[in-house]
Structure 1
Amino acid sequence: MEKHEIAAENSGIRIDKLITDRFSKWSRTLVQQWIKDGHITVNGAAVKSNYKVSAGDSIVINEPDPVPLDIKAENLHLNIVYEDGDVLVVNKPRGMVVHPAPGNYSGTLVNGLLYHCQDLSGINGVMRPGIVHRIDKDTSGLLMVAKNDRAHESLVEQLKNKQTKRRYIAIVAGVIPHDKGTIEAPIGRDPEDRQRMVVTDKNSKDAVTHFQVLERFNNHTVVSCELETGRTHQIRVHMKYIGFPIIGDPKYGPRNKQAFPIDGQALHAELLGFVHPDTADSMTFTAPPPADMEKCVEELRKIDR
């Protein structure tokens, strides 16, 4: 337990900001959660995060015991593209779930991260340590992971402010006539199937995807897609919406399914860019599509010309 009395020069400052600035070992998000849970009080009473302190206020901080993480660390031989004391970039294989969920507590990226390193951000809770953003189970490619709370907050803020760069490669059914374009269509839950997303004006969020054609065949197109926003299944939903669904996609793929040497959607997060949370250096990482996706393209060059 820590007890502090507010000096006159700090009067009028929000309590969450004051504590964060005064004690750099705690992130603002964590402090706000402690305030909400009643672990931080002012003059013996609970307050909100936007409470502005006054001279003479007595603040008591009861740092809660860490919640034990009951998730097994597993040596999954992760493909670590980059790592330092603040961030980690991993190339996730297709078929791997990012974080544990009911009925699926083993073999996830988080299981592998826990084996690889112990210093992960706790902001997203015990089930998602270090996880800043996700990609779907059957999508491969680059993910950034936070190794401490301050790095986590910085990366989330960059995502929110559209300062990160995330580019994907996809193989779609149909021939896209335009060399490039922008899909601006809001995405929300499908009211008839909660496991699917749809373009809708009801209970939706703005979603923007920029695309550029890389290679055309008689019946298919290889395209790069850059995310301006990051909604659930965004590229998969947007490509289906404009009439060019991603091949192999079990939820949104073409109805007339053609056999391809790929298990899951032909979608790969090939480029990831962000500003380093500590050094402020601009960092960009790339990873080529997996072998089975490359094989799909090779076969299309032979049979779909």
Structure 2
Amino acid sequence: MLFSGHPIRVRLDKYLSETTGQSRQHIQRLIASGRVLVNGRPARKNQPAGPDDRIEITWPEAEADGLAAENIPLAILYQDADLAVIDKPAGLVTHPYGRVISGTLVNALLYHLSGLSGIGGVRRPGIVHRLDRETSGLMVVAKNDFSHRFLSNEFRSRRVHKKYLAFVKGVIPWKEQEVCLHLNRKRGQGLKIGLDLRGGRESQTRLAVSRRFPRASLVEVFPRTGRTHQIRVVLSFLGFPIIGDRTYGRPQPIDRLIGRQALHAAELSFTHPRSGDKQVFHSPLPEDLAKLAADLTGWNT
């Protein structure tokens, strides 16, 4: 894939991350492996990219690096030559990480789909966005590089509409709220995310209370940005952590009603990369969350 340089000289890894929609770390790995050339020569991650530069990226193959296709049950709501929309079950990790190379959504995708984009790297073929392991619901997967670039840009430009349903602890007094927080990883606490007013990345979230129970609330969540753990952190910050979320909420008896965080990606809409048509998909509450809603109706402990 060929790119022209940036009109103003900027760091190569930063420019390619913004242009391709890939993380800066992934671009740096491509550079380190010799897959990025600037004017025909291997690139350095900290070198500038200027207006006269010719930049070439060789994306890795999707089915490389020993990942096995596994017959993991997967609900595919729609697919064509460019993309697929799946309904991810709770408990399924999106992609391999560390020493975990099996039992993930990627392993399932390699089995069920005939083609995937290689832009995400050999461990993330077709992956345009992610859901946490314990979050269920809708995801779109790219089946070629053209679709991956287009969809990544749509997510980055905030043109993809997402609606989540979250069951939270406590009865929320307000009806709607817009929340803007700056988030970052908390040092020394693994993957946990916290507030960072100085160096954090801005997150924007719209919340609307859909239903109130005696000791809980059902909230419709519309994230405008896609920061790691954004919804979970925002609701915890407001004092209404998600039921079953053991990372951002203190354990309470109500958590025993469900064995995972009560968060579901219920609606996803985006522009199709090939046709330009608007695509809208819905996912009903899975069985465990439907049962939770019924149990919460009489829960007053």
SS at match of 1:75: coil
Distance 1:60 1:301 in 2: 59
Distance 1:62 1:208 in 2: 32
Q: What residue in structure 2 maps to residue 165 of structure 1?
A: 161
Distance 1:177 1:164 in 2: 29
Q: What residue in structure 1 maps to residue 280 of structure 2?
A: 284
Shift of 1:34: 7.8
Residues 142 and 65 (structure 1), Cα distance of their counterparts in 2 relative to 1, 3 Å cut: closer
Mapped pair 1:196 → 2:192: yes
Q: Under a length normalisation based on structure 2, what TM-score does the superposition of the two structures give?
A: 0.83
Residues 303 and 84 (structure 1), Cα distance of their counterparts in 2 relative to 1, 3 Å cut: same
Write the deviation string for residues 152-200 of structure 1: whole angstroms up to 9, x where unpaired. 1111111111100111001000111111111111111122413211122
Residues 50 and 148 (structure 1), Cα distance of their counterparts in 2 relative to 1, 3 Å cut: farther
Distance 1:242 1:302 in 2: 24
Shift of 1:255: 3.5
Q: What residue in structure 1 maps to residue 52 of structure 2?
A: 52
Residues 165 and 61 (structure 1), Cα distance of their counterparts in 2 relative to 1, 3 Å cut: closer
Write the deviation string for residues 241-274 of structure 1: whole angstroms up to 9, x where unpaired. 0000000012012332424442210000000111
Q: What pairs with 1:1-305 in structure 2 (closer than 5 Å)?
A: 14=4, 29=20, 37=34, 40=37, 42=39, 50=50, 52=52, 66=61, 68-304=64-300
Shift of 1:213: 0.6
SS at match of 2:178: strand
Residues 178 and 279 (structure 1), Cα distance of their counterparts in 2 relative to 1, 3 Å cut: same
Tell me, yes or no, if the aligned pair for 2:211 and 2:218 is still in contact at 8 Å. Answer: yes
Distance 1:122 1:62 in 2: 12
Q: Which amino acid aligns with 2:108?
A: G
Distance 2:105 2:52 in 1: 41
Write the deviation string for residues 196-223 of structure 1: whole angstroms up to 9, x where unpaired. 1112214310011111111112210011
Distance 1:304 1:254 in 2: 18
SS at match of 1:155: helix
Write the deviation string for residues 86-136 of structure 1: whole angstroms up to 9, x where unpaired. 111111000000001123211100000000123111111000000000010
Residues 194 and 45 (structure 1), Cα distance of their counterparts in 2 relative to 1, 3 Å cut: closer
Q: Which amino acid aligns with 1:14?
A: S
Distance 1:173 1:62 in 2: 47
CA RMSD of aligned residues (A): 3.0
Rg bigger for which structure? Answer: 1
Matched residues, number: 276
Q: Under a length normalisation based on structure 1, what TM-score does the superposition of the two structures give?
A: 0.81
Residues 239 and 60 (structure 1), Cα distance of their counterparts in 2 relative to 1, 3 Å cut: closer
Residues 145 and 243 (structure 1), Cα distance of their counterparts in 2 relative to 1, 3 Å cut: same
